Amino acid sequence: MSNSLAIAAVTTTLRHLLQQRFDTDGFGGITVTTRPLDKARDNNITSGDQVNLFLYHTQPNAAWRNMDIPSQVKSGETAQPLLPLNLYYMLTAYAKNDDFPEPTSHRLLGEAMSIFNDHPILSPADIRGALPGINSPEFDLDQQVERVRIVLQALSVDDLFRLWSTFQAPYRISSAYEVSVVLIESRRPAKTPLPVIRRQSDDRGPVVQSDLMSPFPTLTSVQLPNQEGSARLGNVVTINGFHLEGEIVVVLFMNPRLANPIQVSPVPGITGTKIKVELPNDSGNWVAGFYTLGVRVTQTGQPSRTTNELSFSLAPQILDIIPRQVIRDANGEVTLVMICSPQVRSQQRVALLLGDREVLAQSRTTQTDRLEFRITGVTPGEYFLRLRIDGVDSLLVDRTVTPPVFDPNQKVSII
């Protein structure tokens, strides 16, 4: 998701695309501004060749309105809806000497429209190029789940007349664009109730049956230890399928945060229908979040084949809480430090679920296993904690015992 700086980030990115093209395509001396229509042609500032990009209107996006945050709000949780916005820009070209003797402004407008036509979608690279400080948590538009699209709008003569008349500015040939969608995340914490420990007796998972078997290596399911919803580093994961035996068998783990798949060799005892693989306790190279896994099988005399992919989630693990008993300061604020595994990348979304509230982690600039949370307005008491990274929660329920219980190592006392 994006924060409240997303509107400014979009405007800056569009301006950068225009200025970059003008500077490299032989249009020397072109100034790209983002001023209101009545201030765009201020002789005290700009009197030469100029392209002005003016944000004249914002409007809620109907498709995203009142939707929960994807991958961040789960069933049974309540969060403030997103603020989805469509942005409307007016693109206007000006020329020195008022287009005499050549219609220079027409050339500039055509070039500017060509630039937006060549960039119908703002890629993460476009945004990072326009915002050198994009690695700072202040700017996160490039991490937005929905890409920002640029669409040329057809405004009627009446619409143009009313718009320019509002600013009491002389009309210049212009074109209008809709830029959507910008998803601004609410700063209000989500309500996250504790999970239910006991399941009903008839609560069953899906059953998959098939009478037609592929002749190629194929995966059918992934089994996690103790029927957990997520795996942790160090766990042994069971992969079911058929035609999985081979001379060389490698399990591939893929995550959007990782540049390349992680390759892990299975534990001994591979059969044609089952593979077991231990997730290495390598905190620095893994990330918490959602993964897809596949198996590459090389059989004697046959080329290597890669199976279909199945998804699973890797949960973060709270190794330590500092301190476990904390006293509120004079302002009613407490600071908790979490030591976690695997390490957290700077662009990952990290939140602490304290009781039934969500608290975002303090900003980070490097990969780390140490997270700081500052919590205000909390009442004294004992709280169970969960760490949520990229939509995956730490495992609060201990299912290695019967009946299952909440993990006492994930509890903190606030005085």
pLDDT digits (tens, 9 = 90+) for 310-343: 999 999 999 999 999 999 998 889 999 999 999 9
pLDDT for the residue numbered 98: 79
- Strand 305-306 relative to strand 262-264, pairing: unpaired
Is 0.95 topped by the overall pTM? no
- Strand 317-322 relative to strand 325-326, pairing: unpaired
Distances (CA, A) of 398 to 14, 197, 321, 395, 410: 50, 9, 18, 7, 11
Confidence of residue 350 (pLDDT cuts 50, 70, 90): very high
Q: Which of 237-241, 263-267, 407-411 has the lowest mean pLDDT?
A: 407-411
pLDDT digits (tens, 9 = 90+) for 188-216: 887 888 877 665 565 555 545 455 677 88
Ramachandran angles phi, psi of 21, nearest 5°: -65, -45
Q: Yes or no: say if 81 and 186 are a contact pair by the CB < 8 Å rule.
A: yes
Whether the predicted pLDDT of 92 surpasses 90? yes
pLDDT digits (tens, 9 = 90+) for 247-296: 999 999 999 999 999 999 999 999 999 999 999 999 999 999 999 999 99
Q: Yes or no: say if 237 and 276 are a contact pair by the CB < 8 Å rule.
A: yes
Q: Which residues contact 171 (CB under 8 A, 6 or more apart)?
A: 160, 161, 164
Whether the predicted pLDDT of 10 surpasses 90? yes
pLDDT for the residue numbered 308: 94
CA-nearest of 169, 166, 173 to 42 is 169
Q: Which residues contact 414 (CB under 8 A, 6 or more apart)?
A: 326, 328, 334, 378, 379, 380, 381, 382, 383
Q: Which CATH superfamily is domain 317-414 in?
A: Immunoglobulins (2.60.40.10)
Beta-strand ranges (E) seen in 173-235 are 174-184, 218-223
Beta bridge partners of 52: 33, 92
**Domain limits, the chain:** 6-184, 218-314, 317-414
pLDDT for the residue numbered 334: 94
| Residue 119 CB neighbour total at 10 angstroms | 17
Q: Residue 183 corresponds to which tokens in the numbers above?
A: 């998803």
What DSSP designation does 86 have?
A: E
pLDDT digits (tens, 9 = 90+) for 154-192: 999 999 999 999 999 888 989 999 999 999 988 888 788
Do 218-314 and 317-414 fold alike per CATH? yes
Highest CATH level, class, for 218-314: mainly beta
Vertex 382: Cα angle to 380 and 387 (nearest 5): 110
Q: Yes or no: say if 353 and 309 are a contact pair by the CB < 8 Å rule.
A: no
